[in-house]
Amino acid sequence: MEFDQFLIGFEGFKLGVHDFRFLVDNTFFKSFEYSEIQEGRVVVDAVFIKSERLMEMNLDFNGEVILLCDLCGEDLVQTIDFKESVVIKTGTQQDEDEGIIILERGETEIDISHYLYESISLSLPTKRVHEQVEGEPKCNEALMAKINGKVDDNNNDDKIDPRWAALKNLK
């Protein structure tokens, strides 16, 4: 299976539909400094539609990425499966609308790598924890016991400053 480059030269395209397939993998994610995504493999099927006034790209993301669990810090596999559309126009003003990319007049190619990275990053859940089993995340039990044990050690009555001990009786 052959994958396309992230730089699309659209000047020579005829009006109509053009298909692309991109592979977003470990080397891709490592090229972005401060990436939350450790590893991954996401295949993006793209349908590029060129018309007289604008271009549109329909993207279909499928794959998995590896993140760190917010609770235990272990690797967490997150499935990526969503669709998105982006409109590509030429002009001088920058639009703040999501899903619109504005290119300078005269540009003949577009690098969509950053857009793909942002789309994948924004599709991730805000709370990243292992799958729930009976209402509890499936984190590494030994690690979670150690983490919870440290929290309990901090609440130990033996370590309370005697000046503050009197405050415990004021309930």
CB 28 within 8 A of CB 119: no
Residues 25-57 pLDDT 10s: 999 999 888 888 989 999 999 999 999 888 999
Q: What is the structure's pLDDT at 58?
A: 96
Report whether 59 contacts 44 (CB < 8 A). Answer: yes
Q: Per-residue confidence at 81, pLDDT binned at 50, 70, 90? A: very high
What's the token pair of residue 26? 């470990």
How is residue 90 written in tokens? Answer: 């030429």
Quickly state the pLDDT bin for 116 (edges 50, 70, 90): very high
In angstroms, the Cα distances linking 26 to 3, 30, 40, 65, 69 are 15, 6, 6, 9, 18
* % of the chain exceeding 70 in pLDDT: 89
**Could you tell me the pLDDT band of residue 65, with boundaries at 50, 70 and 90?**
very high
- Give residue 1's pLDDT: 62
| Residue-range domain boundaries for the chain | 7-130
Distance CA 111, CA 1 (A): 22
Question: In the prediction, which pLDDT does 147 show?
Answer: 73
Burial class (CB in 10 A: 0-12, 13-18, 19+), 128: middle
Residue 2 has pLDDT above 80, yes or no: no
| DSSP conformation letters of 23-38 | EE-HHHHHTSTT-S--
Straight-line distance from the first to the last Cα atom of the chain, in angstroms, rounded to the nearest whole number: 69
Evaluate if residue 171 carries a pLDDT over 80: no
